[in-house]
């Protein structure tokens, strides 16, 4: 069994993550498991990574993976990028929308924003849970087969499809968002996430900070007319991804050499 899991570890990781999360969404439709199944389902990327790596590689690899959550000693500029870039993108999108006449600050629900502030830390918690799997486990293994840009786009697309039930099912969290700009946004954001991950010695913490700030910056887009908002979000994400590729190359590293190497699957 161990040899089989090791040989097909990446495929099994994705299958396990999808089955766990989509199963949680299905259980959410029942009264008994409503709400809680989504909370448990959100653990899918981490549980899948820990399970697969535990079976195929053992305790040392498990310790190394979890240890990436604590890699905080990195150049300060990466904190600036992780925390500041999503806010900058939101401000740029809002500014362009205002210039085009499709922005109205009154659309931003300040009461809801104030009500959720005490629990904002949970955004980073769940971002870390996702990133330990997507970036910590899957990305280095995809980079054994593809360059950093292609690996990022593949992983971002898979990540977006993983979320599709929240987009495609009626009355879901993201059911008012068109699937095409949503998918393109996640794929483009994956390029920036890879840049951060590779240049911080594989820090899942920094990837989680960027992921969390993406979610926290959404109120900046709320003022944009709903029919245009997903396309503005998609546009700024694609612009950021293209700029990163031009600046850092296909290896997505500014140091001239990768700070985190690809790993054998």
pLDDT (0 to 100) of residue 173 = 76
Specify if 215 maps to a domain. yes
Query: Which of 69-73, 139-143, 168-172, 259-263: highest mean pLDDT?
Result: 139-143
Write the pLDDT tens digit of every residue in 90-146: 999 999 999 999 999 888 877 666 666 776 778 899 999 999 999 999 999 999 999
For residue 263, pLDDT beyond 90: no
Q: How far apart are CA 44 and CA 35, in angstroms?
A: 15
Residue 224 has phi, psi (to 5 degrees) of: -80, 140
For the chain, how many structural domains are there in total?
Answer: 1
Residue corresponding to tokens 């949680």: 24
Residue 15 is assigned to a structural domain of this protein: no
Residue 167 lies in a domain: yes
| pLDDT for res 262 | 57
* High-pLDDT (> 70) share of the chain, %: 93
**Residue-level pLDDT at 158:** 98
What's the pLDDT score for residue 174?
83
Q: Do the beta carbons of residue 167 and residue 177 sit within 8 Å?
A: yes
Inter-residue contact 240 to 85 (CB < 8 Å):
yes
Q: Is the pLDDT of residue 258 over 60?
A: no
pTM: 0.92
Q: Is residue 101 part of a domain?
A: yes
CA atoms of 259 and 251, how far apart (whole Å): 10
Phi, psi (rounded to 5 degrees) for 254: -95, -5
Whether 220 is in a domain gets the answer: yes
In whole angstroms, what is the distance from residue 158 CA to residue 154 CA?
A: 6
CB < 8 Å & 24+ apart, contacts of 46-51: 46/129, 46/130, 46/132, 46/133, 47/16, 47/20, 48/13, 48/14, 48/16, 48/17, 48/20, 48/133, 48/137, 49/13, 49/132, 49/133, 49/136, 49/137, 49/138, 51/16
Tokens representing residue 99 in the block: 């210039």
Which residues lie across from 87 on neighbouring strands? none
Give residue 165's domain range. 73-248
Q: What 8-state DSSP symbol labels residue 23? A: H
pLDDT in tens, 168-223: 988 887 888 999 999 999 999 999 999 999 999 999 999 999 999 999 898 889 99
Beta bridge partners of 224: 103
Residue 79 domain-assigned (yes or no): yes
Q: Mean pLDDT of all residues in the chain?
A: 90
Task: Return d(Cα 239, Cα 184) in angstroms, integer.
Answer: 11
The reply to whether 87 falls in a domain is yes
Q: Can you tell me whether residue 143 is helix, strand or coil? A: coil
- pLDDT of 32 reads 78
At 116 the pLDDT is: 63
Q: What is the mean pLDDT of residues 24-42?
A: 83
Per-residue model confidence (pLDDT) at position 123 = 87
Domain membership of residue 33 (yes or no) is no
């Amino acid at each position: 069994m161990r040899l089989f899991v090791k040989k097909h570890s990446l495929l099994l990781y994705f299958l396990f993550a999808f089955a766990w999360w989509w199963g949680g969404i299905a259980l959410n439709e029942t009264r008994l498991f409503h709400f809680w199944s989504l909370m448990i389902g959100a653990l899918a990327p981490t549980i899948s990574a820990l399970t697969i790596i535990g079976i195929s590689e053992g305790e040392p690899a498990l310790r190394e993976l979890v240890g990436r959550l604590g890699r905080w000693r990195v150049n300060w500029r990466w904190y600036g990028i992780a925390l500041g870039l999503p806010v900058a993108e939101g401000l740029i999108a809002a500014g362009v929308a205002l210039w085009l006449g499709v922005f109205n600050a009154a659309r931003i629900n300040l009461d809801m924003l104030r009500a959720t502030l005490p629990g904002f830390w949970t955004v980073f918690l769940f971002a870390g849970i996702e990133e330990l799997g997507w970036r910590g486990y899957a990305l280095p293994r995809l980079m054994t087969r593809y360059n950093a840009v292609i690996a990022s786009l593949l992983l971002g697309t898979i990540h977006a499809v993983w979320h599709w039930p929240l987009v495609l099912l009626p009355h879901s969290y993201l059911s008012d968002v068109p699937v095409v700009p949503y998918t393109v946004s996640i794929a483009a954001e994956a390029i920036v996430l890879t840049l951060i991950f590779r240049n911080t010695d594989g820090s899942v913490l920094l990837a989680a900070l960027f992921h969390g700030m993406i979610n926290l910056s959404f109120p900046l887009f709320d003022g944009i007319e709903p029919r245009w908002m997903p396309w503005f979000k998609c546009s700024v994400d694609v612009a950021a991804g293209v700029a990163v590729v031009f600046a850092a190359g296909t290896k997505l590293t500014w140091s001239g050499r990768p700070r985190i190497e690809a790993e054998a699957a």
